[in-house]
Amino acid sequence: MREVYSLDNPRMPASIPSQHLILPFAASLSDPCQQALPRLDDAQQMPYLHQLLGRLSQSRRLDGDEYALSMPHERVLAPSLGWSDLADGTLPWAAWQAQSHGVATEEGQAWGLLSPCHWLMGRETLTLLDPDELRLTEVEARAFLEVLRPWFEEEGWTLVYATPTRWYAAHPSLASLPTASLDRVIGRNPDVWMPDHPQARLIKRLQNEVQMLMYEHPLNEPREASGQLTVNSFWLSGTGQLPSQPTLALPQGTQLVTDLRAPLLASNLADWIATWQTLDGTVLKAACGALDAGHHVQLTLCGERSAITLSAPPAPSFSQRLLSSAQRWLGRPAAQPSALLATL
């Protein structure tokens, strides 16, 4: 997605009249995360988060279900891209992102994101691991894609390589097929997240064929011998087709900050808290600075079920800035972060 800020790319716009900061994975429903949330209540460790919660007020809340196919932050972004009327699991992220990778997407063509994966098969459980844990090199990923390509092309699919764990697939069946976001499925049983849809039968068959093909495949042998995860399946997500006149960029000033994703999906709560603290000293500090400068600032916090947007009107006049400053230091007490995030 465009206009993404991360700790690896700490560029901030010098001056913008409006800023919308979106933080997915700000909380999860897991017991370890719920137990870790009170660590964000220390105002000395998280001063700028506490300032923002004290200076901004709730303007919108998007409630949902933890079993929805689309993630809350995806549903937050959808209206700005003209996708307000699309059903759950049919937000065309793959087609939208393919264009940013320079893939020629013809009008009316339906795309999906094909992620090479390792499905961990236990005696009684099946778990899809984060594709990033494969640590595929470009040479390896391209080799795996070429092995799988004939199986898809025989069914009329088009496969396009973008990055080692990001392959794009086009097929007419993807126009109406709802699929679960990859982030919904990581660490969980993928079978539970397969849609009950006629077009899903083809996907299930291809997954079974890929699993049989890659079992003890020569490409996996050196990976297995060196203790690396093997590529033994795939996940399809972001399916759908773009409208005839698509919006190709997020609104100016929108920043999707994804740094909390990896540690939370890995259930590494120590790193997750540390990432929160780093974000507090970077993007959240910058948001407080934008408020001080009189900019319109929105902060959207997203969990597994819901998203809440906090905002304040612009404060261009001296008196309004003075009031904002007073609220910052003397004003109403901020809600505890843990209490707010626990509702997401």
Whether residue 197 contacts residue 207, with contact meaning beta carbons closer than 8 Å, is answered with: no
Nearest to 18, CA basis, from 287, 279, 203, 262: 287
pLDDT tens readout for residues 49-66? 999 999 999 999 999 999
**Tokens 């404060």 sit on residue:** 315
Q: Residues 225-247: what's their mean pLDDT? A: 92
Residue 241 in this model has a pLDDT that exceeds 60: yes
pLDDT band at 11 (very low <50, low <70, confident <90, very high): very low
- What is the rounded distance in angstroms from the CA atom of residue 157 to the CA atom of residue 109? 11
Residue 262 in this model has a pLDDT that exceeds 60: yes
Least-confidence region, from 95-104, 145-154, 184-193: 95-104
Whether residue 191 contacts residue 204, with contact meaning beta carbons closer than 8 Å, is answered with: no
What's residue 6's pLDDT?
38
- What is the rounded distance in angstroms from the CA atom of residue 286 to the CA atom of residue 269? 25
Parallel, antiparallel or unpaired: strands 4-5 and 254-257? parallel
What's residue 230's pLDDT?
96
What's residue 247's pLDDT?
80
Q: Residues 297-312: what's their mean pLDDT? A: 96
Extents of the domains making up the chain: 4-9+16-75+252-341, 86-240
Whether residue 44 contacts residue 210, with contact meaning beta carbons closer than 8 Å, is answered with: no
pLDDT tens readout for residues 163-196? 999 999 999 999 999 999 999 999 999 999 998 8
What's residue 323's pLDDT?
58
pLDDT band at 1 (very low <50, low <70, confident <90, very high): very low
Least-confidence region, from 34-43, 80-89, 245-254: 245-254
* Mean pLDDT computed over every residue of the chain: 89
**Tokens 């699919």 sit on residue:** 157
Residue 8 in this model has a pLDDT that exceeds 50: no
pLDDT band at 14 (very low <50, low <70, confident <90, very high): very low
Helix (H) or strand (E) holding 57: strand 57-62
209: burial class by Cβ within 10 Å (0-12, 13-18, 19+)? middle
Bridge partners, residue 9, by sequence: 6
What's residue 13's pLDDT?
43
Pairwise pLDDT comparison (7 vs 240), residue with the higher score? 240
Residue 154 in this model has a pLDDT that exceeds 70: yes
pTM, two decimals, is 0.87
pLDDT band at 125 (very low <50, low <70, confident <90, very high): confident
- What is the rounded distance in angstroms from the CA atom of residue 134 to the CA atom of residue 108? 33
What's residue 233's pLDDT?
96
